[in-house]
Chains A and B, each alone.
Chain A
Amino acid sequence: MDNSSPTPTQDSPAQSDSIALETRDLSLWYGDFQALFNVTVEIKHGIITGLIGPSGCGKTTLLRCFNRVNERYGYVTTTGEMRVLDKNIYDEDVNILELRKSVGMVFQRPNPLPISIYDNVIFGMRVHADKGQYKKADYDEAVEVALKEVFLWDDVKDMLKKKATGLQLEQQQKLCIARLLPLKPKVILMDEPCSALDAEGTEAIEDLMSNLRGKYTMVIVTHNMAQARRASDECLFMLMGKLIEHGDTSQLFLNPKEKDTENYVEGRYG
């Protein structure tokens, strides 16, 4: 793959100094199995951060902590602190529904809901709206803006009432990103968003990510190291539930500090 080109770190936006996501001594157990060990990390605002590591290293688990979607499984216990936009999300007074509104998530397999494309895009809006808060015109506009932002408008504008599950996988995944946007999230989490897509679809999603860059803080889990190099500004390398290294993507790939990182990025295991 052509990865000799410089990573986009240089032109990262100015606000990248402020911190969007932060964990302190975060540990997590699934029942008796410990999946995360004292992870402490700061993820900067407005850039794309890649999460890499071999299977089972805890990168998806960490990602799923950021909007507490992990808690869908009843047997998860967490210790430590996790701050999103400077608020500890494990505080008592945190409204989990509001948290999920501002921290959106894109899953490994495109999972549009089995309703129309239009209804998919405004699903989040409807769920969070007070009675009578939006009129049809508001919804129409939100749908158009969101679909344009993910480059899907031209493909689907004549079939908005069709079922979303009938779209091609690539379009489905774009739709899954589009439905987050009307909620004006601060953070978008992506769990291997391209693993079900072919090369073209992957490229389309990556284009889309770079289009959204700067407006949202994005965290992407990926198995594809070439993709991490192409698409991310900073990278986290994890191994066995521990955070091993965090740095600029170019530096992490070309000049890793840790031996484990070097072995992984050179493909000696994983």
Chain B
Amino acid sequence: MPLIPKTDGGSIHWTLLREKIIEILIYISGFSAIIFVFSIFAFIFKEASGFVFSHETDWSFFFFNAAWQPLPEESATYGAFSMIIGTISVTLVAMLIAVPFGLGLAVLVSEFCSPKIKETLKIVIELLAAIPSVVWGFVGLKLMNYVLVNFFGAQVGSNLFNGGIVLALMSLPIIVSIAEDAFKAVPDSYREAAEALGATKWQVVYKVLFPAAKNGLLAAVLLGVGRAVGETMAVLMCTGHNLNNPFSSEFPFLNIFDPIRTLTASIAAELGEAPRGSEHWQALFALGLLLFAIIFVINLTADLVVRGIKQEES
């Protein structure tokens, strides 16, 4: 029998062709991700370009004036200040709640609890991530509204604090899972060294693990911020959707029971009403461009920080 059995040429040809086709399909699915990202960016940019490149657009007005009045069209003004402040304030409140809880949970899961509790906690935390944002919106609108008005004495239930709590719960899963990874990446020899010197478990956590994992923890917080900035439906439903600046120069400096309005919510609420291609439409896309830029910078920073960890380890 010959070493390589003879087959008819056609069948070999077919096998090679099939390999080639599969290879091309894999390439297409890989590159499509890149193509999609760039085409989305191009689309937003194109729609916003009328506003961005118009001579009439006053950028200091756009960034620093609170007057967002798309109607009547003849005298429309587009000042995004309130929405920028709204996004910043709700993200700030969400992070003030989510960061301590998230890092605390990550410490508990990775260092303190038994494997059984750990598995349960991880599943529950992942379930938080599986709740659709509109359902979070319900929770804010119905449950939190009631609680804030009846137990905290808020004038309006849909406000900054309401949105902040809901956003905190929504960004908790990503903070916990990235922070837990960061703690897991700390070599056990560090823990052992500190414990052999007589450190308590808590001393090991804050004197050894926090400094050792600080880059990963920073990335966790940044990704949480990115999640909070980009969230739309829940904040639209919970924050009262009212152009307002909750910061004040007097104590307590931030009125957490003020209603606010965010960049994302404005786009979602108004895009349906804006005539296609109108100045209003273009201004909304300019908001989108701004959001895109903010989230891009946050995610890029987080990515670079995580890369920084990997290089240090190798």
A interface, CB within 8 angstroms of B: 67, 69, 72, 96-101, 104-105, 107, 109, 111-115, 123-124, 126-128, 176, 179-180, 183
Contact = CB atoms under 8 A, between A and B. Distances in A.
Given A72-B195, A123-B207, A97 B200 contact: yes
A264 B193 CA distance: 32
Interface in B162-189: 187, 189
Q: Which of A104, A124, A127 has the most CB of B within 10 A?
A: A127
B203 to A, nearest CB: 5
Contact of B196 (A105, A114, A126): A105
Contacts of A101: 197-198
Interface in B195-209: 195-200, 203, 207-208
A114 B209 CA distance: 9
Contacts, number: 66
B211 A179 contact: no
A69 B207 CA distance: 19
B195 A100 contact: yes
B199 A127 contact: yes
A97 B196 CA distance: 8
B198 A97 contact: yes
B213 to A, nearest CB: 9
Going nearest first, the 3 A-B pairs with the smallest beta carbon separation are A100-B198, A111-B189, A105-B196
Contact of A183 (B187, B193, B198, B200): B198
B61 interface: no
Given A69-B196, A100-B197, A180-B197, A115 B189 contact: no
Nearest to A127: B199
Contacts of B119: none
15 contacts: A69-B195, A97-B198, A98-B198, A101-B197, A109-B189, A111-B189, A111-B192, A111-B193, A112-B193, A113-B193, A114-B208, A114-B211, A115-B211, A179-B197, A183-B197
A127 B194 CA distance: 9
A248 to B, nearest CB: 29
A127 B196 contact: no
Contact of A107 (B193, B199, B203, B208): B193
Contacts of B199: 97, 123, 127
Contacts of A127: 194, 197-200, 203, 207
Given A114-B211, A127-B203, A107 B197 contact: no
A200 B256 CA distance: 64
A111 B212 CA distance: 13
Contacts of B197: 100-101, 104, 123-124, 127, 179-180, 183
Given A98-B198, A100-B196, A114 B190 contact: yes
Nearest to A99: B198
Chain B interface extent, by class: 10 to 19
B208 A113 contact: yes
A128 B203 CA distance: 10
A104 B196 CA distance: 7
A123 B198 CA distance: 10
A124 B193 contact: no
A6 B313 CA distance: 44
A104 B195 CA distance: 10
A128 B199 CA distance: 8
Nearest to B200: A97
A127 B195 CA distance: 10
A109 B192 CA distance: 12
Contacts of A112: 193
B198 A128 contact: yes
A72 B197 CA distance: 13
A113 B190 contact: yes
Nearest to A126: B207
Q: Which of A113, A127, A179 has the most CB of B within 10 A?
A: A113
Given A97-B198, A113-B194, A114-B212, 17 more contacts: A101-B197, A107-B192, A111-B187, A111-B190, A111-B192, A111-B193, A113-B190, A113-B208, A115-B207, A123-B194, A123-B207, A124-B198, A127-B197, A127-B199, A127-B200, A127-B207, A128-B198
A109 B207 CA distance: 21
Contacts of A105: 196
A100 B211 CA distance: 23
A109 B190 CA distance: 11
A104 B197 CA distance: 6
Contacts of A99: 198
B198 A69 contact: no
Nearest to B115: A74
A10 to B, nearest CB: 33
Contacts of A107: 189, 192-193, 196
